[in-house]
Amino acid sequence: MDQIPTQEILRYLRTQLPHMLELLRQLVFAESPSTVPDSQKAVLMPLAEELSHLNYTVHHIPGRQSGGHLYARPSRRVRRQPRQLLVGHCDTVWPLGTLQEMPWELGEGIVRGPGVYDMKAGLVQMLYALRALHAVQLEPAVTPLIFINSDEEIGSPDSTPYIRRLARIVDRTFVCEPSLGLEGKLKTTRKGVGRFTVVVKGKAAHAGLNPDGGASAILELSFVIQKLFALNDPNRGITVNVGMIDGGLRPNVVAPESRALVDVRVFTQEDARRIEESIRHLQPVSPGVTLEISGRIGRPPLELTPRNQALWEMASSLGRELGLDLAAGAAGGASDGNTTSLYTATLDGLGAVGDGAHARHEFIYFDKMAERGALLAFLLMAPPLQEGRV
């Protein structure tokens, strides 16, 4: 890595900061909630244009539930060269019109706005890392492939099959989700996420005239909820949360049905299997009542596997060349890195430094964009981790 002109890349990105901020402003003003597929076109188009200017061939993949995705690869490729994947998402959690009450603000080293941190600034850094390499006439020995989806905030239902397919053929994956905390930690572990629905079927009866003739689904649900909460284990990072319940017909009717929606978070595959099995094997304790349980751990944990550890150590070493004292962190939420980690070395949190994902105070430190873009550029220039992934 001694041949990389470290300071030249960093200087280039610092001179490009006004252009980076202008592109970021354009992306933020293109409000793009996951739940409004038609809104994605306004943010996908400028991203596709930027990639085309970098001599990438860009494919728009239509979505079934989403606004679609972008897959891009260099127009000129070296045959049999290993590949690496850059992943990001352009959708946000913010509904259309959020800019009116949460406007774009630039000043005192900070940018605010819906989606600026999670994760439109990360997309800008991704593009400008590639621009920097082009500007100093460097070609990575591992071909960069780009995948940008528009459904990450709703669990990537459309895009996960494409991400899996790409992850299987690449040497490594860099996820440009925001870094963790104000210190800008890279994310080396993430919790897996599961969603479960428990439906309790009982029997209706008049609560005053014939209460013994019924079987209360609500009473049984109260027992189920206690069993679910008993699965929590803070020491292992296991959280099982019953977030929503409903049921019953009227106050004077023994409830014939009730349900609970459950969120599960775990740090390891072992715990994922164990908790999933525990939930699926819940048994009723009330006579005349049955349980119907659906759901699964949809996003597996991102664990610090040996190959992920190797990628983190590479980033830490390259960061020192930039004067960055990088730290690793664990995130409670999931990303598409949870998926790629099953198949290839993955490092997450390479996006913006700031705070407020999914929160009203969302912001980034824009003066950190150049150094984080440079870090990604250096990582892209690293030799392959594995042999045979071509």
pLDDT at 80 over 90: no
pLDDT in tens, 349-364: 999 999 999 999 999 9
pLDDT at 79 over 90: no
CATH of the domain at 176: 3.40.630.10
Yes or no: say if 135 and 11 are a contact pair by the CB < 8 Å rule: no
pLDDT in tens, 122-167: 999 999 999 999 999 999 999 999 999 999 999 999 999 999 999 9
β pairing state of 172-175 and 345-347: parallel
pLDDT in tens, 177-221: 999 999 999 999 999 999 999 999 999 999 999 999 999 999 999
Mean of the pLDDT values across residues 59-74?
Answer: 97
pLDDT at 43 over 60: yes
236 and 345 share one domain = no
pLDDT at 388 over 70: no
Coil, strand or helix at 199: strand
275 and 323 share one domain = no
Round to whole Å and give the CA distance between 217 and 199: 9
- What pLDDT, on the 0 to 100 scale, is given for residue 78? 79
Contacts with 334 (C-beta within 8 Å, 6 or more apart), sequence order: 190, 191, 192, 193, 299, 302
Round to whole Å and give the CA distance between 77 and 75: 6
Q: Which own/partner contact pairs does 207-216 have at CB distance under 8 Å and 24+ positions apart?
A: 207/251, 207/252, 207/253, 207/254, 208/252, 211/254, 213/254, 214/253, 214/254, 214/256, 214/288, 215/254, 215/286, 215/287, 215/288, 215/289, 216/254, 216/255, 216/286, 216/289
- Average pLDDT of the residues of the chain: 96
Place of tokens 């969120």: 263
Backbone torsions φ then ψ of 23, nearest 5 degrees: -65, -40
Yes or no: say if 110 and 366 are a contact pair by the CB < 8 Å rule: yes
240 and 346 share one domain = no
Coil, strand or helix at 144: strand
Place of tokens 């004292």: 325
| Total of domains in the chain | 2
Cα separations (Å) of 264 from 189, 197, 237, 330? 16, 11, 10, 16
- What pLDDT, on the 0 to 100 scale, is given for residue 8? 96
- Token output for 343: 């198949």
pLDDT in tens, 237-290: 999 999 999 999 999 999 999 999 999 999 999 999 999 999 999 999 999 999
What percentage of residues in the chain have a pLDDT greater than 90? 96
pLDDT in tens, 292-331: 999 999 999 999 999 999 999 999 999 999 999 999 999 9
86 and 185 share one domain = yes
Domain span holding position 227:
192-299
Yes or no: say if 66 and 151 are a contact pair by the CB < 8 Å rule: yes
Yes or no: say if 154 and 95 are a contact pair by the CB < 8 Å rule: no
pTM for this model (two decimals): 0.92
CATH of the domain at 206: 3.30.70.360
- What pLDDT, on the 0 to 100 scale, is given for residue 2? 58
